[in-house]
């Protein structure tokens, strides 16, 4: 018989949002629990991100990195699962062959292979994260003055990207609390066919207040404030079905197809899943 054990070696301390463009979850223990439950894993799924003691003992160069031991706990195979990155295109030939040979008591012809994948995120290697975070914090933040027609064009989405829009205001406490997570989402999926756009519902006279908040949130992305203070016209321009309460969030495919919308504070686990599972994005390269 065979016992499968999966171990996550990664420390969340060294993980950047930009490295999560193909996932809705990170590498924390809590997020691992969510993944295991969602996928109905029938094997132990272990977290080693805090101390990384087990990972240091095994020495994975990248993930995934497989280790096969015989019944005497002697290492018989170390390396790749197979020679492709895309799930479902092969059947784990290298790993399956190693398992079959061990079960049959036979010699494995190639007991060690190279592994291609994401490098292990060691807790002490945080320089890159600090560097990228600092670069993001130094980016210029702008707030465009946009007409009602400009807003309608944003909703129509004539781009070739999946567009996430959040309508917020500085006087809206829930808006301010959740907004930084939208910036994180832009960092996660910004290298894909995706963009996050913010629309401030503040009065134009309060533009400086809105800009100050956006700067504090490092919102170095496409930010808009409406030049017309008629909020009811803004509601109709964004979504006639919206009753006007903030915050309001929409996920829009090209040509204006609204695939998801929500009034109120967003469940970001749900939103990230909606994004990554959209046909325009996907979980594999």
pLDDT digits (tens, 9 = 90+) for 14-69: 899 999 999 999 999 999 999 999 999 999 999 999 999 999 999 998 999 999 99
Predicted local confidence at residue 234, as pLDDT: 97
Q: Taking each helix axis from N to C terminus, what angle separates 231-238 and 148-156, rounded to the nearest 10 degrees?
A: 20
Whether 272 and 144 map to the same domain: the answer is yes
Whether 102 and 192 map to the same domain: the answer is no
Predicted local confidence at residue 90, as pLDDT: 64
pLDDT classification of 284: cutoffs 50, 70, 90: confident
Predicted local confidence at residue 29, as pLDDT: 97
**Which domain covers residue 58, as residue numbers?**
6-129
Compare 88 and 258 and report the one with higher pLDDT: 258
Q: Which domain-ending residue is among 129, 159, 174?
A: 129
Q: Who's near 175: CB < 8 A, 6+ residues apart? A: 166, 168, 169, 246, 247
Q: Which domain-ending residue is among 129, 160, 184?
A: 129
Predicted local confidence at residue 83, as pLDDT: 83
47 within 8 A of 102, measured Cβ to Cβ: no
Cα 125 to its chain centre, rounded Å, is 21
Q: Who's near 159: CB < 8 A, 6+ residues apart? A: 195, 254
Mean pLDDT of 203-211: 98
Count of domains observed in the chain: 2
Q: What is the mean pLDDT of the chain?
A: 95
Phi, psi of 19 (to 5 degrees): -90, 5
Whether 93 and 217 map to the same domain: the answer is no
Look up the pTM and report it: 0.90
Whether 118 and 92 map to the same domain: the answer is yes
Q: Which domain-ending residue is among 129, 159, 179?
A: 129
CA dist 117 and 213 (Å) reads: 38
Whether 153 and 110 map to the same domain: the answer is no
């Amino acid at each position: 018989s065979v016992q499968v054990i999966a171990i996550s070696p990664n420390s969340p301390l060294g993980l950047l949002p930009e490295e999560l463009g193909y996932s809705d979850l990170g590498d924390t223990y809590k997020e691992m629990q969510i993944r295991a439950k969602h996928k109905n894993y029938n094997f132990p799924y272990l977290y080693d991100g805090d101390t990384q003691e087990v990972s240091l003992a095994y020495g994975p160069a990248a993930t995934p990195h497989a280790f096969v031991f015989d019944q005497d706990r002697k290492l018989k195979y170390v390396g790749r699962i197979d020679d492709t990155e895309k799930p479902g295109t092969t059947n784990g030939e290298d790993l399956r062959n190693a398992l079959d040979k061990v079960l049959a008591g036979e010699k494995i012809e190639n007991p060690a292979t190279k592994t291609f994948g994401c490098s292990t995120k060691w807790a002490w290697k945080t320089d890159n994260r600090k560097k990228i975070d600092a670069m993001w914090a130094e980016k210029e933040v702008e707030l465009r003055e946009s007409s009602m027609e400009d807003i309608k064009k944003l909703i129509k989405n004539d781009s070739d990207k999946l567009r996430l829009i959040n309508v917020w205001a500085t006087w809206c406490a829930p808006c301010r609390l959740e907004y930084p997570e939208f910036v994180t989402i832009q960092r996660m999926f910004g290298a894909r066919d995706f963009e996050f756009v913010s629309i401030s519902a503040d009065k134009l006279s309060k533009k400086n207040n809105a800009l100050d908040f956006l700067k504090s949130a490092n919102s170095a992305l496409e930010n808009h404030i409406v030049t017309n203070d008629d909020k009811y016209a803004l509601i109709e321009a964004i979504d006639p079905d919206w009753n006007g309460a903030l915050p309001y969030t929409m996920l829009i495919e090209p040509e204006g197809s609204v695939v998801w919308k929500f009034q109120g504070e967003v469940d970001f686990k749900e939103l990230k899943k909606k994004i990554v599972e959209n046909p325009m994005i996907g979980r594999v390269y």
